[in-house]
Every structure is written in C-alpha cells, then in structure tokens.
Amino acid sequence: MTSSLHPVIIIFAGALLVGVLRGRLKNFVSVLTPVLGLVNLIVIANGAPAGDDTWTLSVMDLELVTARFDKLSLLFGYLFHIAAIITSIYSLHVRDNMQRVTGLLYAGSAIGAVLAGDLITLFVFWELLAVTSVFQIWARRTERASSSGVRYLLLHVSSGLLLLVGATMIYGDTGSLAFGEIGLKGTGAGGILVFLALGIKCGFPLLHTWLIDSYPEATASGAVYLCCFTTKTAVYGM
C-alpha cells in the first residue's frame, strides 16, 4: 500500500483550511484540496492488489470497513473528486464562507459514502450528506429557503434513520453489516427499509418532492453542488 490516508481526510482538512484562510490563498486551497484528494485516490488504487482492497476499523465488537476500493467505488470516487474540482472552481466568486466550507464537506461526505464497505460507515456519511448539503439551501438566507431547508433536512435525516434501522435488522438476521448485495428477498423488513432509504435520496416517485422543493431555493453554486452528489450517491448505493 503506497498510501494510508483516507480520501475523506484530505477533503475535510481542506474544508477547515478554507474556513480560516482569506483571499487568493483560500481560492487556491479550495481547488487544490480535491485535486490532492484525487491524486491520493489514484495512488491508493495503484497500490491496491488487483485494484481491490479494503481498510477496516474495529469499534467494540464490530469490524467496520471504512473504505473499500473496488472498480465501482473507485469509479464514483474519481467522478466525485472531479465534480468537487469543478464545483470549487465554479464557486470561486462566492464570498460566503459557509457555502465554501460546507460545499467541500458535502463533497467529502459523498466520497466517504461511495467508499463505505459496511452499512454503519455508510450511515455516518449518509447523515453527513444531509447535514452538510442543507447549508447550500440555507445560504440563500430567505424565508422560503429556510423553510425548504428544514423540510429537506427532516426528510434526509429520516432516510438515514431508515438506513440505520434496516442495517440493525439485517445485522440481527445475518450477523453481517457488509454493504454489498442486499436485495428485497431473503432480508425481510431490513432490506425493504434500506431500499426506501436509498429511494428517498434517489428521488423515487412520491419520494421526490424534496428535489422540486429545495433545488430552486438553493443558491446558484449550491444548486450545482446539490446536482452533483446527493442523488448520485444514492444511485451508487442502489
């Protein structure tokens, strides 16, 4: 393994730096951060045996797969880093620190979600997606944006709770938290709850109202961020 730095760490660290820096240095770091993240991910992929490897973390009695580098997760990881580079460049004109910082945190959460190898790690980044992305709506600072953001957050946090309950039920039935093929057959209610959790973020019919409610109320750069990560992460999960 030629790199041992989780890709999310680079994005989150860069976001914190963007929050304290000013002027041209802030702009430089905001674009450089996802570039370095992309380089780091490429290095990891080249160092992994046959391009397929996992990083694990033991938490109490659970063995969590904090990162899984297979062909599909790497593809989405590359695409999300590229999207983060493009959105960072597009947002260079934005003077609102909150948008700039949460935009990078939002991109990092999406990257963490597609690299997750277990349902608990996925849940953590799933909820971070909701919390970080809502600020792209609230940043418009209008009454309608505020109300829309609250509705958005409630629905997406509920999606995370469905995912957590589903994961708990699957673990109780199978003894495994692996984020792999789950399906709707043979997994009982747990599989259905995970499916619904993914469906909310995918924008399934009747579960899609947050799309038409929130996107128009986001800022111009915020709408670009929203288009890049949330639904695409859900499609990966599906």
Residue range 210-214: average pLDDT?
A: 88
3-state secondary structure at position 196: helix
Lowest mean pLDDT among 50-59, 76-85, 103-112, 147-156: 50-59
Beta bridge partners of 71: none
Q: Is 185 helix (H, G, I), strand (E, B) or coil?
A: coil
The pLDDT of residue 28 is 95
**What's the whole-number mean pLDDT along residues 99-125?**
95
Is the whole model's pTM more than 0.85, yes or no? yes
Q: What is the mean pLDDT of residues 145-161?
A: 94
The DSSP output letter for 50 is G
Question: What's the rounded Cα separation, in Å, for the pair 210 and 189?
Answer: 25
Which of residues 52 and 125 earns the better pLDDT score? 125
**Across the chain, what does the average pLDDT equal?**
90
- Show the CA angle centred on residue 118, arms to residues 114 and 122, nearest 5°: 50
Give the model's confidence band at 2: pLDDT under 50 very low, under 70 low, under 90 confident, else very high: very low
Matching residue, tokens 């849940």: 123
Measured CA to CA, the distance from residue 160 to residue 231 in angstroms comes to 14
Q: What is the DSSP string of 133-148?
A: HTHHHHTT-SHHHHHH
| Residue 209, pLDDT above cutoff 90 | no
* Average pLDDT score over residue span 115-136: 94
pLDDT at 51: 47
For the ranges 26-35, 51-60, 79-88, 151-160, the lowest mean pLDDT is seen at 51-60
Residue 192 burial by CB count (10 A; 0-12/13-18/19+): exposed, middle or buried?
A: middle
Question: What backbone torsions phi and psi does residue 76 show, to the nearest 5 degrees?
Answer: -65, -35
**Computed over its alpha carbons, how large is the radius of gyration of the chain?**
18
Per-residue pLDDT band at 3 (split at 50, 70, 90)? low
Q: Place 186 in a pLDDT band, splitting at 50, 70 and 90.
A: low
Measured in degrees and rounded to the nearest 5, phi and psi for residue 86 equal -65, -45
Average pLDDT over residues 110-130: 95
